Amino acid sequence: MTQHSGHDRYGSDVLGTDPRAQHRAPRLRATDQPAEIGLVAEEVTTGWVGAVVRVEKSGGVHVVVLEDRHGRTRSFPLGPGFHAEGRPVILTAPVARSRANVAHGAGRRTEGGRRLTASGSVAVQRQRARVAQPSRIWVEGRHDAELVEQVWGDDLRVEGVVVELLEGADNLEVMLRDFGPGPGRRVGVLLDHLVRGSKETRIAEQVRRRHGGHVLILGHPYVDVWQAVKPERVGLPAWPDIPRSIDIKTGTLAALGWPHESRADIAQGWKRILRTVRDYRDLSPALLGRMEELIDFVTAPEG
């Protein structure tokens, strides 16, 4: 039998005390955290880390879908059991923008005593958001849609115009065939990189010939909608010129000195850029004019 030394650093009962307890930091209390798109979270029981890509209902419960750096996704029930930004959180459903705000004319600023929306329009007073109209505005991707919502969301809800994702210009013809544009059922399309000789320009010309006056395709000159945000909003004199061999989002974040190696990094980087956009004054006129024209097109009376 092994003899113990006169000093036992564990005391008489090795299971009765925890030698690390005196050094352990107090347990942090979990706080509610809306599962906003792009939030990076860790599910603690599995160790799965990913960016929030959506919240949906599955089997009668709300789940959050997390996408890891390799593009793989897993779903977890909303609630406790997550870490975000180094602290325990209870993931909750993201807060939808209230239609009551539109009805009562919630603006981002005032001018001459009038409340204005982020697009610079006079906020409509005491009017409910319309039921969605048949006409639509389509944009290429999620970041385009989030930027449009940030600046024109109030206006579009009042008009009853829904913005939908193309997920790439290559899908335009198929979506138009399924949608069936016609009288009272218009489509306004916003494309990235609509410049002479680009793939997007060739697609737009084909669509114009086939669908005539019920479809309007406009675009901005930027390879990615990120560049429609004025560069000084993120501390740059100009957006960096990224070689074609490098993904533009990755290259842009690298130039900014921000994390850029994973999809979660890109999601977080876009959120940081989007947060700098206060209203239309923070966007390039090349985007502003095109969006205003598209809204006019899909809301104009027929005839």
* Model confidence pLDDT, tens digit, residues 214-268: 999 999 999 999 999 999 999 999 999 999 899 999 999 999 999 999 999 999 9
Given a cut of 80, whether residue 113 has pLDDT beyond it is no
Rounded to whole angstroms, the Cα distance separating 132 from 6 reads 81
Percentage with pLDDT > 70 across the chain: 78
N-terminal to C-terminal alpha carbon distance within the chain: 101
- Cβ-count burial of 196 within 10 angstroms (0-12 exposed, 13-18 middle, 19+ buried)? exposed
Given a cut of 50, whether residue 107 has pLDDT beyond it is no
140 and 86 both lie in a single domain: no
Q: Is residue 211 part of a domain?
A: yes
* pLDDT tier at 23, thresholds 50, 70, 90: very low
149 and 71 both lie in a single domain: no
Q: Is residue 114 part of a domain?
A: no
Q: Which residue has the tokens 């705000």?
A: 101
Q: Which amino acid is at 119?
A: S
Q: Is residue 223 part of a domain?
A: yes
170 and 225 both lie in a single domain: yes
215 and 290 both lie in a single domain: yes
209 and 282 both lie in a single domain: yes
Task: Return the pLDDT at 229.
Answer: 95
Q: Is residue 166 part of a domain?
A: yes
Give the residue-averaged pLDDT of 6-26: 43
**Model pLDDT for residues 26-75, shown as the tens digit of each residue:** 556 889 999 887 778 899 999 998 888 788 877 778 899 888 767 788 99
Q: Is residue 82 part of a domain?
A: yes
* pLDDT tier at 132, thresholds 50, 70, 90: low
Q: Is the Cβ–Cβ distance between 269 and 258 less than 8 Å?
A: yes
Q: Which of 56, 71, 92 is the last residue of a domain?
A: 92
Task: Return the pLDDT at 136.
Answer: 93
Q: Is the Cβ–Cβ distance between 160 and 126 less than 8 Å?
A: no
**Model pLDDT for residues 134-187, shown as the tens digit of each residue:** 899 999 989 999 999 999 988 888 888 899 998 888 889 999 999 999 988 999
Q: Is residue 286 part of a domain?
A: yes
Q: Is residue 268 part of a domain?
A: no
Q: Is the Cβ–Cβ distance between 31 and 60 less than 8 Å?
A: no
- What CATH number corresponds to the domain at position 281? 3.40.50
Q: 110-124, 183-197, 203-217: which range is least confident on average?
A: 110-124
157 and 292 both lie in a single domain: yes
Residues 6+ apart with CB under 8 A from 184: 134, 135, 302
83 and 155 both lie in a single domain: no
**Domain coverage including residue 39:** 31-92
* pLDDT tier at 121, thresholds 50, 70, 90: low
Task: Return the pLDDT at 20.
Answer: 46
Task: Return the pLDDT at 58.
Answer: 73
**Into how many domains does the chain fold?**
2
Task: Return the pLDDT at 57.
Answer: 78
Q: Is residue 204 part of a domain?
A: yes
Given a cut of 50, whether residue 14 has pLDDT beyond it is no
143 and 65 both lie in a single domain: no
291 and 177 both lie in a single domain: yes
Q: Which of 57, 72, 92 is the last residue of a domain?
A: 92
Report the alpha-carbon angle 228-271-251, nearest 5: 65
Q: Which of 22, 57, 92 is the last residue of a domain?
A: 92
* pLDDT tier at 100, thresholds 50, 70, 90: very low
Task: Return the pLDDT at 21.
Answer: 44
Estimate to the nearest angstrom the gap between the alpha carbon of 257 and the chain centroid: 21
**Model pLDDT for residues 284-295, shown as the tens digit of each residue:** 988 988 998 999
Give the residue-averaged pLDDT of 115-138: 68
- What CATH number corresponds to the domain at position 86? 2.30.30
159 and 281 both lie in a single domain: yes
